[in-house]
A and B are shown apart, each in its own frame.
Chain A
Amino acid sequence: MKDCRMKSLPVRTVLLFVAMFSIPAFAESGDGYNIADLKQGLDTVWVLLAAFLVFFMQAGFGMVEAGFIRAKNTCNILTKNFLDFCMASLGFFLIGYALMFGDGNGFWGTKGWCLLGLEQTVNGLPIYAFWLFQAAFCGAAATIVAGGMAERMKFPAYLVYSFLISAFIYPIVGHWIWGGGWLSNMGFADFAGSTVVHTVGGCAALVGTSMLKPREGKYAIDGKPNVIAGHNIPLASLGVFILWFGWFGFNAGSTLSVGNGSLIGRVAINTNLAAALGGIAAVVTVWKRFGKPDLSMAMNGALAGLVAITAPCAFVEPWAALLIGASAGILVVLGVELLDKLQIDDPVGAVPVHGICGIWGTFCVGIFGRKALGLANNGFIYGGNPMQIGIQIVGSVSTVVFIVVTMGIVFKLIDLTIGLRVSREEELRGLDIGEHGMESYGGFQIFSTI
């Protein structure tokens, strides 16, 4: 009883203050508070909160990748995950933002280097808040590649790559789609980045990992894949939970404003449903095909659902989100198998999750999207209009071609100068000692014999 009264006292005080000050403040708009300011403040808080969540996804990527690889390379992958966000922040500040959002032509922006000479507000948000949100996205695109190229890529090569993708390549695609470029003028729709972030990251990972060649011992002479098991499944699970959590910021924050809350609500529920169905579909598929409910595949499935719903999350009904998530969950399992057949070694599944499902999610806008929810045209299932799906295919294909060509050049140049891959001996011994002179699990006896 006593406890109850002690708790309620501050609550009542707060209510009293709110009652005393807030009502007159709203009424007297000349008194420093006006509705427009409050709206901008509220939107800023929302977008910054989302930016912080998207930043936290960096931790998620780090944990997933660390968990899915061997102990001897863990320090290396985490250093890459850590520093690529640092590099992305720098690159996106100096050059990237201007290329992506500065005024210019249909292909890239040409104003706003180092954020100088820009309007103070953009999309109704203070420019610095908007920049931070976009920089966190840029970091996510860069970090996807670390997983695909894990356990054999040189550290200096990775640093150079991460600066180049976040300063030049990601922002150019971003300009096409979000910066008023040629794809956005065509009516191409990618709400939160299935193409801009995930297709870019996933295709870059595909180019990189095919150029690096498989890890030592991954494929037998007859081409059969060997298991190189991840060393810490709990860490990987934590990473997936963090990513799922962060994704609410990634998608729902892309509204860039609070409005009356209905759009945020729709995006959030769609995001969650797609992730859930992705997990279910992947676990069922893998269970049926290989006889056991493989956790690592279930987790890949949830991420696949999240990637696929990223583009259509604002334009579809919840029932469509269920279908999109489920189809992505099946696709990711088939994608992992396909890569193994082609002997492309992707240790964490970056290509199936981000590349394949990024493309699929982009198509889904054209299939399940609704005009009533803000899309330019109704999707294919609403009256059989193929217009939007055609636009989506053009956008997706041109992004894939652009990334394959530019990243091919970037990785080739790095290979010719610094070298892309560590020596066989260093790879066998582990990149932790080779690149960093430091073990991830000092004091534990971990032997690197595979």
Chain B
Amino acid sequence: MKLVIAYIQPYKLKDVKQALYKAEVYKMSVTNALGCGEQKGYHESYRGVGIEVNLLKKVRLEIGVNEDFVEKTIDAVIEGAKTGQIGDGKIFVMDLPECIRIRTGEKGSKAIG
């Protein structure tokens, strides 16, 4: 089992959700996040004075999947989130030692569902 964590542009969430749905990945957790990478922030101005905004608004997706779904999930996230510009985000894939469904007590691959 793997845990796929992706940081994406907030406005691409809709596209990513659609792409995941097409790839038959129906589960995810979404949290708001602040972060920066190569994009280095953007420029806002307030009453004529410029402001550099360093930490950018991002959305963090967490998706627990079985091995055979890892590639599909990654491809779907890329399909939805990619614009080709700096700031599109990153995907991290980690091993997931255990998963338990609270309602039934099922464990492992079954619990991921």
Residues of A in contact with B (beta carbons under 8 Å apart): 216-217, 425, 428-429, 433, 437-439, 442, 445, 447-450
Q: Is the CB of B44 within 8 A of A449?
A: no
* Distance, CA A449 to CA B43, complexed state (A): 20
Identify A447's interface contact among B10, B14, B44, B46, CB under 8 A.
Answer: B10
Q: In whole angstroms, what is the CA distance A437 to B44 when docked? A: 5
Check B32 for interface membership: any CB of A closer than 8 A: yes
A402 vs B112: C-alpha distance in the bound complex, in angstroms? 61
The distance in angstroms between the C-alpha atoms of A439 and B46, with both chains bound, is 9
User: Across the A-B interface, how many residue pairs have beta carbons closer than 8 Å?
Assistant: 36
Chain A, interface SS category = loop
Write out the residue numbers on chain B whose beta carbons fall within 8 Å of the beta carbon of A442.
46
For the complex formed, measure the closest distance between the CB of B76 and the CB atoms of chain A, giving whole angstroms: 17
18 A-B pairs, CB-CB below 8 angstroms?
Answer: A216-B14, A425-B11, A428-B14, A429-B10, A433-B42, A437-B43, A437-B45, A438-B45, A442-B46, A445-B57, A447-B32, A448-B10, A448-B11, A448-B57, A449-B10, A449-B13, A449-B59, A450-B14
Asked if B83 is at the interface of the complex by the 8 Å CB criterion, the answer is yes
Residues 53-76 of B at the A interface (beta carbon under 8 Å): 57, 59
Chain B residues within 8 Å of A, Cβ to Cβ: 10-14, 30, 32, 34, 42-46, 57, 59, 83
Closest to B57 in A: A447
Quick one: given A447-B32, A447-B57, A449-B59, are A433 and B44 in contact (CB under 8 Å)?
yes
- Determine the chain A residues whose CB is within 8 A of the CB of B12 once the complex forms: 428
| CB-CB under 8 A for A438 and B46, given A217-B14, A425-B83, A449-B11 | yes
Return chain A residues, CB-CB under 8 Å to B11: 425, 428-429, 448-449
Q: How far is the CA of A263 from the CA of B99 in the complex (A)?
A: 76
B44 partner residues in chain A, CB cutoff 8 A:
433, 437-439
Looking at chain B's contact residues, the main secondary structure is strand
Q: How far is the CB of B36 from chain A (nearest CB, A)?
A: 15
| Inter-chain contacts of B14 with A (CB < 8 A) | 216-217, 428, 449-450
Chain B: minimal CB distance from A418 (Å): 22
**Residues of chain B with a CB closer than 8 A to A448's CB:** 10-11, 57
Distance between A374 CB and nearest chain B CB, rounded to angstroms = 51
The smallest C-beta distance from B66 to any residue of chain A, in angstroms, reads 27
The residue of chain A having its C-beta at the shortest distance from the C-beta of B42 within the complex is A433
Shortest beta-carbon distance from A71 to chain B in Å: 12
By a CB distance below 8 angstroms, the chain B residues around A429 are 10-11
Q: How far is the CA of A295 from the CA of B29 in the complex (A)?
A: 32
* Among all A-B residue pairs, the 7 with the closest Cβ atoms: A428-B11, A449-B13, A429-B11, A447-B32, A437-B45, A449-B10, A437-B44
Note all chain B residues with C-beta closer than 8 A to A425. Answer: 11, 83
* A445 CB contacts on chain B under 8 angstroms: 32, 34, 57
Please, how many angstroms separate the alpha-carbon atoms of A437 and B47 in the complex? 11
Known A433-B42, A438-B46; further 13 A-B contacts with Cβ < 8 A: A425-B83, A428-B11, A429-B10, A429-B11, A437-B44, A439-B44, A445-B32, A445-B34, A447-B59, A448-B10, A448-B11, A449-B10, A449-B30
